Structure formats: structure tokens, C-alpha cells
């Protein structure tokens, strides 16, 4: 129980408080906000003590859970202590500042104010004896105790969520530092967008069945908590089904399932299991080397996100390994592309085969003829793409499964692995296309088409 031991009526419900505080902004709670407020009220009343709110970004979950609720909780439990934690101290202080300002403007409705001597943004006391403290994840909280712990946005980015060490550090901080600060009978609220199956939300769900979970995906699924029909938008007044469909196309399947549907998919369900790709510090001696190109001819401009021109260099070792040793990736017009291909060929030397795609039609033939002429003296192989991108990509994917695809350590590794992980649902697939071309060229150089995939699947 909070320190006051007895909850104070404070005059108004959490819903009435939220409506009054938002009225000057011409905002009213939507149906998913009402459900959030219902769960938060249950937590304040002690009916539940662990609450997880899983909602997509941009749906005002922090406004209700991390700004309006703490102020009302301090009025309901006047002598209680609150610790609020976010992925950075700046974000936690942002919430703290908003809570203070909300109390300053509307605290008379709650019979609550801030003591005049407390001017610190992240640490202050109410005039009823309550404490509020905000900190970043893994920040110092030694010596502090809490009746309510509120964790909002504990994960900063997908890169952080994908890092096992970062996930472990957050989990250890929660268990050894934050959870131990909770007073007997204390309560915890976790507000987050899911990022990874093994993020802190996933670990809590796996290890602690006492949590009450309110999961509200952007598009409704079966047995929706709001009673929506499958495919119905969560907040159509703000973002309807059509807008969400456009966003889904932009962000790709992995981000959509995790951040918007709150159902992160393991990397093992992707075509390329990137955790099986070793990164080497030195390249082995090779039998053959191929520089495969995926061509684009549009320079980047403000407001546009064109495809990339990619030149991937693949080495086949005497032991049967396939090692990607280099990656050229840029955006440029036709002349810049031609200049870069020639410069790269000069750097690679005559022993590296250059694999070029030939687009269908006369224009594609003319482009290849022009590039081949500029590359006189080098080994050039040009051929049209056959089959879908996904079909072509299954060849290098099989090499990953067999453990024969490696990378030479380089600054380009992370970007390349991210694209592999998100394929075929990522925003870009230029590097994957270049990889597929390299394997196709490698297979057709010495083998008939009917034997193209046998060495890879047979290893």
C-alpha cells in the first residue's frame, strides 16, 4: 500500500480529471484511452498491482499514463512516492516537466500543488507530502523508495532492442535496481511499444504471470480488447485504415508486427537467419571473385528515398566458403554510376568478374552495351534477371543455413545484415539483389542451370 495507507477520495475520478485537463486543448479521450484509464484506475485502487500497456507509437499512451495519471495518483495517495523511468534522462524529465505543468494549471481540481522550494525538473514534492522522481534507464536510484514505479519507453531503438547485451543490461537493471526500490504493496506500470520478442515486455510476460496486460494493436485482430472487428483501426479519428496501410508498406513487416501490432516476430522466421553469418577479420584465399552490381540511376534529393546502386564483392574460397569482402553502395545519376563501376573495377583488378544485370527491352541492352564498352579489358558478364526476387534470394539464403556464407569485417556489415533480416519486407533490397546476382553468376560460371542450387543445399 502507498504510505498514506488510506486512499483519499480527491473529489474526481481519473476520467473526469483527464477530460478536464485536456479540455483547454480541445481534446477528449478516445475509446482506447477510456480503456487505459479504466485499467489505471484499477491499479490505483489496488485491484491490480502490475499493469502493462502495449500500444503503437503516436496513440497518446504517454499523455494518459505518464502525465495525467501520476498527478491524479498523487492526489489519490497524497503521501506516496513515484519513480518514473524512461530510456533516457531527457525523456523522463520531459514527462516530469509535463506533470508539474499540468498540476500547476489544473491542480486545484485535485486539491494538489507543488511546494515552492522544489524547482528541480526531475525531483519535486507535492504540497500534500508526495514525492516524484524521474530518471533514465540504468540511472542512479539508490536510496529512493516508491509506491508507484512507472516505466515509459524503456527501449530507445530497434538497434538497442536487437542487442542482446543491451536487453540483458535493461533486464538486470529492472530486477536488481528498480524492482528492489518498490515498497511493500507497491505497484508498477510499464508503458511501451514492443520492439523485440525478448525485450523487457517479453521477458516479463514469460517470467511473471501476475501482470495484467492491455495490448491494443493498430489494426484489430481476433478477440480484440476493444471489441473491434478484425482490421479496424485503433484510433480512426487520428489515423484510419488507409493511413495505417500506407505506413505498413513504408515500415515493412518486422517493424509493423512489433511496433504497431505489438507482436514482434523472431529473426528466425525471416528468410535469412543472420545470427548464423560469421564475421571474419581476414579473408581466406580464394578461387574466384565476383563483383555483382544492382543498378539504380537516381540521385538522392530532399523528400525522396530512391534505390541504391550496390556493388557486392563475393569470394569463393578453396574450402567452399562464400565470403562477402566488400560493399559499394551509393546513390547517383547514370554517369556517376558508370564512373563508379569503372573505378571499382580498376581497384578490384582484372581477376574479379563483373556481373551486371540487363533490364528487359532495348534500353536495357543499350545500357549494358555502353557499360561493357567502358569496361573493356575487364571480365564482364551481363544477363537478365529471371524469377522473382524471393526465388533468387533462396540461393544465398541456403548458404546462410548451411553455414557457408561469411562477411569480412567492415563498416558496411550492420546495414547489410539489417537488410537481410528484413527481406523481403524491408524498405530496401538492393544489397540482397546484388548478393543473389553474385551467387547466380558464381553458379552459372561453371555449372549448368540444373545444378545451380545443388552445392548450396547439399552442404
Note whether residue 139 is domain-resident: yes
Q: Which residue has the higher pLDDT, 299 or 137?
A: 137
Residues 182 and 330 reside in one and the same domain: no
Helices (H), 313-429: 334-348, 362-374, 389-402, 413-422
Whole-angstrom distance, CA of residue 345 vs CA of residue 368: 15
Residues 81 and 192 reside in one and the same domain: yes
DSSP 244-284: HHHHHHHHHHHHIIIIITS-PPPGGGSSS-GGG--EESSPP
Q: Report residue 287 CA to chain centroid gap.
A: 39
Note whether residue 303 is domain-resident: yes
The total number of structural domains in the chain stands at 2
Domain range spanning residue 371? 274-458
| Predicted confidence (pLDDT) at residue 434 exceeds the cutoff of 50 | yes
Whole-number pLDDT of residue 360 = 73
Residues 212 and 313 reside in one and the same domain: no
Whole-number pLDDT of residue 23 = 94
Whole-number pLDDT of residue 251 = 77
**Hey, is 138 helix, strand or coil?**
coil
Residues 161 and 46 reside in one and the same domain: yes
Residues 407 and 296 reside in one and the same domain: yes
The pLDDT confidence band at residue 285, using thresholds 50, 70 and 90, is: confident
Write out the three cell numbers for 118: 522544489
Instruction: Give the closest residue to 214 by CA, choosing from 233, 239, 189.
Output: 189
User: Tens digits of per-residue pLDDT, 174-199?
Assistant: 998 888 889 999 999 999 999 888 89
Residues 84 and 190 reside in one and the same domain: yes
Lowest mean pLDDT of 17-21, 268-272, 301-305, name the range.
Answer: 301-305
Whole-number pLDDT of residue 207 = 86
Whole-number pLDDT of residue 271 = 80
Note whether residue 106 is domain-resident: yes
Write out the three cell numbers for 198: 525478448
Q: Which of 167, 191, 216 is the last residue of a domain?
A: 216
Note whether residue 307 is domain-resident: yes
Q: Which of 186, 201, 216 is the last residue of a domain?
A: 216
User: Tens digits of per-residue pLDDT, 44-73?
Assistant: 999 999 999 999 999 999 999 999 999 999
**8 A C-beta contact, residue 231 and residue 221:** no
Q: Which of 175, 190, 216 is the last residue of a domain?
A: 216
**8 A C-beta contact, residue 108 and residue 32:** no
Per-residue pLDDT averaged across 267-283, rounded? 82
pLDDT above 90 covers a percentage of the chain that reads 62
CATH code assigned at 123: 3.40.50.300
Note whether residue 152 is domain-resident: yes
Per-residue pLDDT averaged across 229-244, rounded? 93
CATH code assigned at 312: 3.30.420.240
Amino acid at each position: 500500500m502507498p504510505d498514506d495507507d488510506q486512499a483519499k477520495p480527491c473529489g474526481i475520478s481519473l476520467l473526469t480529471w483527464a477530460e478536464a485537463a485536456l479540455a483547454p486543448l480541445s481534446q477528449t479521450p478516445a475509446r482506447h484511452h477510456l480503456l487505459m484509464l479504466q485499467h489505471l484506475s484499477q491499479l490505483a485502487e489496488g485491484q491490480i498491482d502490475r499493469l502493462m500497456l502495449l500500444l503503437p507509437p503516436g496513440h497518446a499512451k504517454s499523455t494518459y499514463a505518464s502525465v495525467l495519471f501520476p498527478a491524479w495518483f498523487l492526489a489519490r495517495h497524497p503521501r506516496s512516492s513515484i519513480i518514473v523511468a524512461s530510456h533516457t534522462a531527457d525523456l523522463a524529465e520531459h514527462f516530469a516537466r509535463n506533470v508539474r505543468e499540468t498540476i500547476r494549471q489544473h491542480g486545484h481540481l485535485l486539491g494538489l500543488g507543488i511546494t515552492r522550494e522544489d524547482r528541480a525538473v526531475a525531483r519535486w514534492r507535492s504540497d500534500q507530502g508526495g514525492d516524484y522522481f524521474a530518471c533514465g534507464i540504468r540511472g542512479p536510484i539508490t536510496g529512493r523508495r516508491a509506491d508507484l514505479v512507472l516505466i515509459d519507453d524503456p527501449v530507445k531503438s530497434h538497434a538497442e532492442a536487437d542487442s542482446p547485451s543491451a536487453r540483458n543490461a535493461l533486464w538486470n537493471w529492472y530486477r536488481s535496481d528498480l524492482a528492489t526500490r518498490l515498497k511493500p504493496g507497491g505497484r508498477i506500470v510499464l508503458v511501451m511499444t514492443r520492439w523485440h520478442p525478448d525485450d523487457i515486455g517479453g521477458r516479463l510476460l514469460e517470467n511473471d504471470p501476475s501482470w495484467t496486460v492491455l495490448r491494443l494493436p493498430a489494426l484489430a485482430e481476433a478477440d480484440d480488447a476493444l471489441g473491434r472487428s478484425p482490421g479496424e483501426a485503433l484510433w480512426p479519428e487520428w489515423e484510419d485504415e488507409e493511413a495505417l496501410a500506407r505506413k505498413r508498406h513504408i515500415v515493412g513487416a518486422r517493424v509493423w508486427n512489433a511496433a504497431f501490432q505489438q507482436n514482434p516476430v523472431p529473426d528466425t522466421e525471416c528468410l535469412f537467419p543472420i545470427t548464423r553469418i560469421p564475421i571474419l577479420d581476414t579473408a581466406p584465399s580464394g578461387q574466384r571473385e565476383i563483383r555483382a552490381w544492382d543498378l539504380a540511376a537516381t540521385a538522392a534529393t530532399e523528400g525522396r528515398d530512391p534505390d541504391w546502386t550496390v556493388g557486392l564483392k563475393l569470394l569463393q574460397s578453396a574450402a567452399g566458403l562464400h565470403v562477402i569482402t566488400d560493399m559499394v553502395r551509393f546513390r547517383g545519376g547514370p554517369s556517376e554510376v558508370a564512373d563508379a563501376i569503372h573505378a571499382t573495377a580498376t581497384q578490384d583488378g582484372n581477376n574479379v568478374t563483373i556481373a551486371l544485370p540487363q533490364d528487359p527491352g532495348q534500353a536495357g541492352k543499350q545500357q549494358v552495351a555502353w557499360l561493357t564498352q567502358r569496361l573493356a579489358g575487364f571480365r564482364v558478364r551481363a544477363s537478365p534477371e529471371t524469377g522473382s526476387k524471393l526465388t533468387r534470394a533462396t540461393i544465398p539464403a541456403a548458404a546462410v543455413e548451411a553455414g557457408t556464407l561469411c562477411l569480412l569485417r567492415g563498416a558496411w556489415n550492420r546495414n547489410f545484415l539489417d537488410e537481410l533480416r528484413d527481406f523481403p519486407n524491408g524498405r530496401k533490397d538492393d544489397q540482397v539483389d546484388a548478393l543473389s546476382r553474385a551467387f547466380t553468376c558464381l553458379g552459372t560460371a561453371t555449372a549448368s542451370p540444373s545444378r545451380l542450387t545443388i552445392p548450396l543445399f547439399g552442404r
